[in-house]
Structures are given as structure tokens and as C-alpha cells.
Amino acid sequence: MGVPLKQQIGLGMYILGKKLRREKRYPLVLMLEPLFRCNLACSGCGKIDYPDHILDKRISVQEAMDAIDECGAPVVSIAGGEPLIHKEMPQIVEGYIRKKKYIYLCTNALLLKKRIKDYTPSPYLTFSIHLDGNRDRHDASVCQDGVFERAIDAVRLAREKGFRVTVNCTLFQGESPQEVAEFFDHVNTLGIEGVTVAPGFSYERAPQQQVFLQRKGSKELFRDIFRLGKGRGWAFNHSSLYLDFIAGNQNYACTAWGNPTRNVFGWQKPCYLLVGEGYAPTFEALIEDTDWDNYGVGRNAKCGNCMVHCGFEATAVNDAFANPLKALRVSIRGPRTSGPMAPEQPFIYDNPDSQSVELTVETDSQDRSERVA
Ligand code: SF4
Ligand code: SF4
């Protein structure tokens, strides 16, 4: 199914307007993190290690509306933490729908059955359900048995009630392409619009050589998966050129300002993945005061293995705008799964460690399981 045509046209008109006004940096998706508290404690989570007084903070309805008015993005991804824990989430969603913003409400789905009555189906609202693979893989990923089944039940319930639904999946090296293919087959039978997929982001810095190997490993994994997927009719919630990028066929630089993050600390520099780079008080200050040239693959050791959509989907969309025939070709044929890969962005720093920045955000050594809401 993929992204509905009306939404694609709306996004296209927005980009065209920005290009005609010659705006250099503009957002496509606001990443709203309205709280960091969660009801799971996944091993790979980079969001729940804050002390309780920070986990108890919430972005208010007014702050959520101000964030979208400030940046003007046509799409909002509401993440966290677990957004369904936020007591004012229905009002935030309602406010964004009134503003005709396309909302992806990202959830681990544990609370969806209980809270779904607080929401009304709308072309502007999509539940994006976190599922990292088949039962064993997902339950291991979220460190709790039974979560996969509850998430699948939530997908079915949301579809029965007429909501738009996508599945949000993160893959890591060492995955079995065959198992991922079976997982994509399964979720595509559930009436979802598509799968949002990305290679997992490692928060550890790596030496240059290892970075290349990690990136190559991710691209080979996606080539293997897409090769298996030919003719199986999978729908993805991405532009065709982003899929081509993660399969190693595009040499893209990061467009981090395309997916700005507003959370309980302010506007996070430069993206939701990097901690310790500081916060801006307003969207305008984020755009003006962030040293964007200091970020991206080859420019900053922390970015070395990043191929995540928050940095590269906006690059791919801009490329599709500039080269529509290329985008159409990839869309019809699918990403290329053999032959040479596109070269990497050049590394322009000498010593990866020289870029290291100490964490400035408070964390806490409390056991993760004790944080669960
Ligand atoms: S579901 Fe897991 S990854 Fe997502 S916020 Fe909660 S603990 Fe983190
Ligand atoms: S490359 Fe990734 S981690 Fe680095 S700024 Fe871009 S989106 Fe953020």
C-alpha cells in the first residue's frame, strides 16, 4: 500500500514551495518526544536512562502545538518513551489533526487496547507499532516475553477500528535475511500501510575502518533482504531512494535538519540520535546555531555508522525531487541487490576520537527494570 497519494502530493507541494522560496534548510518531519518514561526497558534503548525527575517531565499540549507552529513541518512523528503513557496525548493528537498534520504515533502497543477509545480514525493519524521482527526476535529485543503477540493483536484491533497502521522495525547486523523476509511477509498480511525500517544506530564511537565494515554489513543485509523480497509485494513507508540508499546504491550525506527533534529539554542538536550536543530554545535557534557541517558520515565519529531515516530520508526525498525518473525507476524495479556499491562520503576528520564530546545530560545508574512505568 505505502504512503497514500494525498499525503505524497501534500508533501510534494510543501517541498516545492520551500524550493521556490529558495529556503536552504527546512523540516519534513517534526520528531516530538513528549516524555522519556516507558513501560518497557529494551536493552538497546537510548532514551530511558534518565533519573526519575526527568522521566517524570512531560511536554504540554501547548508546547506540542508551539513546536509544530514554530517549525511548520507537514508530518509529526511522536515517539518517546512511550507516548500512550502521556495523559494529554489525545489532546495533542487532536490539535495536530486540526492543523492538518500527518501524525505517526509510535508505540510499543502495550497500552493501545486500553487507550484506543481515546482516539478517532483520521486520514491524518497513523499508529506506528514497534516490532523488530518475529516473536523470538522481538521479545528478545524488548526484553520481555509476550510483547510480540500483544503488538500483533494491537495491529489487528487498530485496523478493525479503521485506523491507519504502520510497523516500525529496526534491524541489526547478524539478522537472518530469511527470518526478516518471513516477518515482512507476516506483517504485510495484517492490512498495514507499510513497514518503516532502518539499520540500528550504535551509540558507540568506532574507528574508521570498523565504521566502513559496519556500514557495508548493513548494506549487504538489506541487499539480501530485498533480493528475497522480489515479487513478494512488501510495502514500505519510505521513498524508493531511501531503500536504495540502505541497499548501498546511493552516496548520501545526512540532512539532519529535515527531521528536527523537540523533547523535554528543548530542540535537540543535531538530531534525536546524538546526545550531548546541546539544545536550542527555539526552532529558529536550532537552525541558526547548529554547526551542521560538523555532523554526518565522514564528518563526525559519532555519525559513523548512521543510516537512519531521520538523517537520510529527507536527503532521499530531495534527490527524488531533483531526479524523478531515477526515483520512479527504483520504485518500479526495487533497489539494486548486486553489483558495486556506491562509494562512501569522504572522511574529512583525521582522528575519530578528537570529535568525542562528553555527555552533558544527566543519567542515572538505577536498574532499567525499575524505571518501567
Ligand atoms: S519501547 Fe523500548 S526502545 Fe521504545 S522507548 Fe520504550 S524502552 Fe525505549
Ligand atoms: S548522520 Fe545520523 S547521527 Fe549524524 S547527524 Fe545525521 S542523523 Fe544524526
- 257 — alpha (psi -120 to 50), left (phi > 0) or beta? alpha
Give the CA angle between residues 151, 84, 166 to the nearest 5°.
Answer: 45
- Confidence band, pLDDT 50/70/90 cuts, at residue 199: confident
Instruction: Report whether 243 contacts 335 (CB < 8 A).
Output: yes
pLDDT in tens, 213-244: 588 889 999 999 999 999 999 999 999 999 99
pTM (predicted TM-score)? 0.91
pLDDT in tens, 87-138: 999 999 999 999 999 999 999 999 999 999 999 999 999 999 999 999 999 9
Helix, strand, coil in percent for the chain, rounding step 5: 45, 10, 45
Instruction: Report whether 223 contacts 249 (CB < 8 A).
Output: no
The mean pLDDT of the chain is: 90
Residues shown for the chain: 373
Q: Which of 13-17, 139-143, 181-185 has the lowest mean pLDDT?
A: 139-143
**pLDDT score of 43:** 75
**pLDDT score of 194:** 96
Work out the average pLDDT over 138-161.
96
Question: 44 vs 30, 66, 168, 188, 268, CA distance in Å?
Answer: 23, 31, 15, 25, 20
10 Å CB burial of residue 115 (0-12, 13-18, 19+) is: middle
State the Cα–Cα distance between residues 47 and 41, nearest whole angstrom: 10
DSSP 5: H
5-361 — its CATH code? 3.20.20.70
Q: Is the CB of 310 under 6 A from ligand 2?
A: yes
State the Cα–Cα distance between residues 93 and 98, nearest whole angstrom: 9
10 Å CB burial of residue 134 (0-12, 13-18, 19+) is: middle
**pLDDT score of 359:** 32
Q: Is the CB of 133 under 6 A from ligand 2?
A: no
Q: Is the CB of 256 under 6 A from ligand 2?
A: yes
pLDDT at 270 over 50: yes
- Confidence band, pLDDT 50/70/90 cuts, at residue 259: very high
- Confidence band, pLDDT 50/70/90 cuts, at residue 162: very high
Q: Ligand 1 mean position to 351 CA, how many Å?
A: 33
Mutate to test the pocket of ligand 2, among 205, 307, 310 (most ligand atoms within 8 A of CB): 310
* Closest ligand (CA of 83): 1
Residues contacting residue 114 through CB under 8 Å, at least 6 positions apart: none
* Closest ligand (CA of 111): 1
Residues contacting residue 116 through CB under 8 Å, at least 6 positions apart: 157, 158, 161, 163
272 Cα nearest atom in ligand 2: 8
- Mean pLDDT highest for which of 7-11, 170-174, 262-266? 262-266
Mutate to test the pocket of ligand 2, among 254, 269, 291, 347 (most ligand atoms within 8 A of CB): 254
Ligand 1 first shell, C-beta below 6 A: 38, 40-42, 45, 47-48, 80-82, 108, 130, 142
**pLDDT score of 370:** 56
**pLDDT score of 172:** 75
Q: Is the CB of 211 under 6 A from ligand 2?
A: no
**pLDDT score of 354:** 42
pLDDT at 369 over 80: no
Work out the average pLDDT over 45-74.
94
Q: Ligand 2 mean position to 237 CA, how many Å?
A: 20
- Confidence band, pLDDT 50/70/90 cuts, at residue 1: low
Taking alpha carbons only, the member of 48, 95, 57, 60 closest to residue 76 is 95
Question: 322 vs 223, 238, 327, 332, CA distance in Å?
Answer: 25, 17, 9, 18
Instruction: Report whether 113 contacts 72 (CB < 8 A).
Output: no
